[in-house]
Structure 1
Amino acid sequence: MQIESISIKNFRVFQDVVIKNIPSMAVFVGANGSGKSTLFDVFGFLRDSLVHNVKSALINRGGFNEVVSRGSTGPISFEVKFREGSDGPLAVYSLAIGLHEGLPAVVKEQLKYRRGQRGQPWKFLDFKLGEGQAVINESEYGKPAAEMKREPQKLESNDIL
């Protein structure tokens, strides 16, 4: 997998950061306190959220109010653009985390692939607050005349990815 860009909003020191054209090997340098460790913690946070849940990932980092950028009003959000292989289709994973009824929740989660240069993206996942749809025939993606088959799903909790 090759990450091409990442957008981070309201995660600690990153109020609105976009890193584009990320090479397969990258070195991040900067002064102390400039966000190098926070950048790597973005990936740790996403891993912890996926393996456990968003609430647990936030608690391990001091809670929502310690993770969200100071003075921000919007949700914590991430958008990762990547490809499977060098010539694979562009995939976009987006995640927004906010407070719902005072508790951390996945406000929005999407995974979509672009179908060719001009086609509409396939939304493999499309969830809001623990409810949404997921494609159940993802192996058909890219085949001629393939039709998406979506299935409505409701998660046990709105803090699960």
Structure 2
Amino acid sequence: MQIVSIKIKNYRVFESLEIKNIPAFCVIIGANGTGKSTLFDIFGFLRDALKNNIRQALQVRGGFDEVVTRGKKEEDIEIELKFRMKIVDTERLVTYQLIIGKEQKRPVIKREILRYKRGEYGSPYHFLDFRKGQVYVITNEENFEQTDEELEREEQQLESQDILAIKGLGQFQRFKAKLFNVLNLTPNL
């Protein structure tokens, strides 16, 4: 798996950052205070959120109000990773998007999406779509012979709005771990 782009909005110093066309070997350089450590902390944050939940991952970093970009406390934190990985013998571009906000002074996952193209043409298909505790996932995504309309959706209610859906779904045998390898995105530092 290779990360090819990162988009970050309202995470510490990154009010809006997009890095495209990331090569397999990449060196990040810059002056002190420009966000090098913050960029790598995104992966640590995701790891902590997967290990525990969003609330605890934020708390380790001082809480939502300390993590969200200064002056943007009423806005959401957004993280989007695009990576290439082999799915059923074909290299595919997979997108993972996470939007975190606050409701009643508590951090919640407003939206979590995992998508990729099933065929050669068309738009990327949402295989996981999570909104405020409700999640649906496609259970037969590997059957590329079926049309999008024939895909089977399973809806679930998560215990809390601060738990990542990929964390829960990755624990079930019927949801192939290959799509949920987002769990292993943390680079070796």
TM-score, structure 1 length as denominator? 0.93
Instruction: Tell me the distance in 2 between the aligned counterparts of 1:70 and 1:134.
Output: 35
Deviations 1:100-150 (A, max 9, x none): 12100000000001233431322111011111211122332xx22353211
Match of 2:99 among 84, 91, 96: 96
SS of the counterpart of 2:42? helix
- For structure 1, the residue ranges without an aligned partner over 5 or more in a row are none
Moved over 6 A (4+): none
Amino acid at match of 1:84: M
Residue 11 of structure 2 is matched in structure 1 by: 11
Shift of the 13–121 alpha-carbon distance from structure 1 to 2, 3 Å rule, reads same
How big is the alpha-carbon RMSD for the aligned residues of Structure 1 and Structure 2?
1.6
Deviations 1:41-71 (A, max 9, x none): 0010011111110000000000000000001
SS of the counterpart of 2:101? strand
Query: Given the alignment of the two structures, is residue 160 of structure 1 paired with residue 163 of structure 2, yes or no?
Result: yes
Instruction: Tell me the distance in 2 between the aligned counterparts of 1:41 and 1:125.
Output: 25
Query: Given the alignment of the two structures, is residue 50 of structure 1 paired with residue 57 of structure 2, yes or no?
Result: no
Instruction: Tell me the distance in 1 between the aligned counterparts of 2:120 and 2:15.
Output: 31
Instruction: Tell me the distance in 2 between the aligned counterparts of 1:24 and 1:70.
Output: 32
Residue 110 of structure 1 is matched in structure 2 by: 113
- For structure 2, the residue ranges without an aligned partner over 5 or more in a row are 165-189
Query: Given the alignment of the two structures, is residue 82 of structure 1 paired with residue 92 of structure 2, yes or no?
Result: no
Residue 154 of structure 2 is matched in structure 1 by: 151
TM-score, structure 2 length as denominator? 0.80
Instruction: Tell me the distance in 1 between the aligned counterparts of 2:123 and 2:20.
Output: 22
Instruction: Tell me the distance in 1 between the aligned counterparts of 2:151 and 2:84.
Output: 20
What is the number of equivalent residue pairs in this alignment?
159
Q: Check conservation: 1:76, 1:96, Cα contact below 8 A.
A: yes
Instruction: Tell me the distance in 2 between the aligned counterparts of 1:44 and 1:122.
Output: 27
Residue 67 of structure 1 is matched in structure 2 by: 67
Residue 128 of structure 2 is matched in structure 1 by: 125
Q: Check conservation: 1:89, 1:116, Cα contact below 8 A.
A: no
Instruction: Tell me the distance in 2 between the aligned counterparts of 1:51 and 1:148.
Output: 30
Instruction: Tell me the distance in 1 between the aligned counterparts of 2:75 and 2:120.
Output: 32
